A and B are shown apart, each in its own frame.
Chain A
Amino acid sequence: GQNIDQPTEMTATEGAIVQINCTYQTSGFNGLFWYQQHAGEAPTFLSYNVLDGLEEKGRFSSFLSRSKGYSYLLLKELQMKDSASYLCAVLNSNYQLIWGAGTKLIIKP
């Protein structure tokens, strides 16, 4: 089967750094997405990785290792507004998006 694994919940402190991991097993690979979803709102696109390495976008960075079936989302200088769920999704060989259950990130002052 196909599955995406990510931690259910993480807690971090305002101003700190947090890394949210995602491992995947899918039928083929055409890229990995990270989305942010605030409670009661729509998921919004954060990043897309298709090649190995680190993609940096402001305070957020996303890393991919295709050989390990592994990605992480790195959030720096955490702010209270970063409290949200972070969804990992993989585009498989049929161009279907396979979703993880999401990681709820709680930021404490």
Chain B
Amino acid sequence: ETGVTQTPRHLVMGMTNKKSLKCEQHLGHNAMYWYKQSAKKPLELMFVYNFKEQTENNSVPSRFSPECPNSSHLFLHLHTLQPEDSALYLCASSQTSGSPSYEQYFGPGTRLTVT
């Protein structure tokens, strides 16, 4: 596979469930990102990893827990979510320095519905 892949593409979960989103990039990039996209709102950056180290956590509630075992894989573990967490969750990757290497390549996203 090429580019950035995400699984699952769609997820419906109850507020007491635990689930995980998976992202994999095949571009040899060193940085990976989780974004939340809600209707008519700007992309919200959630987490950033550079060389497997978390470099940014934008005040995200602890019910979202990221994991980056290596530069190619990124997970987002979900537990006790709220209905307002329903959104499209996008994963992206990029090189880490210089321009235009900050260009981000996005996966197709996971459409999450919390019931």
Q: Provided the pairs A99-B42, A101-B41 are in contact, do residues A43 and B106 lie with their beta carbons within 8 angstroms?
A: yes
Complexed CA–CA distance, A102 and B40 (Å): 7
Partner of A91, one of B40, B99, B109, B111: B99
User: B56 to chain A: which residues have CB within 8 Å?
Assistant: 96
Query: Interface size bucket, B side?
Result: 20 to 34
Partner of B108, one of A33, A41, A48: A41
**Interface majority SS (helix, strand, loop, mixed), chain B:** loop
Partner of B102, one of A41, A97, A101: A97
Q: Provided the pairs A8-B40, A42-B4, A42-B90 are in contact, do residues A31 and B99 lie with their beta carbons within 8 angstroms?
A: yes
B43 in contact (CB, < 8 A): yes
Complexed CA–CA distance, A43 and B107 (Å): 8
Task: Report, nearest first, the 7 A-B pairs whose CB atoms are least far apart.
Answer: A42-B106, A99-B43, A99-B42, A48-B100, A101-B42, A42-B108, A43-B106
Q: Pull 28 A–B residue pairs with CB atoms less than 8 Å apart, ordered by A.
A: A30-B99, A30-B102, A31-B99, A40-B111, A41-B108, A42-B90, A43-B43, A43-B90, A43-B106, A44-B106, A45-B103, A45-B104, A48-B99, A48-B103, A50-B99, A87-B43, A89-B43, A91-B102, A95-B97, A95-B102, A96-B45, A97-B45, A97-B102, A98-B42, A100-B42, A101-B40, A101-B41, A102-B42
